[in-house]
Amino acid sequence: MANNSPALTGNSQPQHQAAAAAAQQQPPCGGGGGGATKPAVSGKQGNVLPLWGNEKTMNLNPMILTNILSSPYFKVQLYELKTYHEVVDEIYFKVTHVEPWEKGSRKTAGQTGMCGGVRGVGTGGIVSTAFCLLYKLFTLKLTRKQVMGLITHTDSPYIRALGFMYIRYTQPPTDLWDWFESFLDDEESFL
CA 157 to chain centre: 17
Domains of the chain by residue range? 62-105+122-183
pLDDT in tens, 92-127: 999 999 999 998 776 655 555 555 444 544 557 899
pLDDT in tens, 145-187: 999 999 999 999 999 999 999 999 999 999 999 999 999 998 8
Predicted TM-score (pTM) of this structure: 0.70
Distance in angstroms (rounded) separating the CA atoms of residues 115 and 121: 8
Contact call for residues 59 and 169 (beta carbons, < 8 A): yes
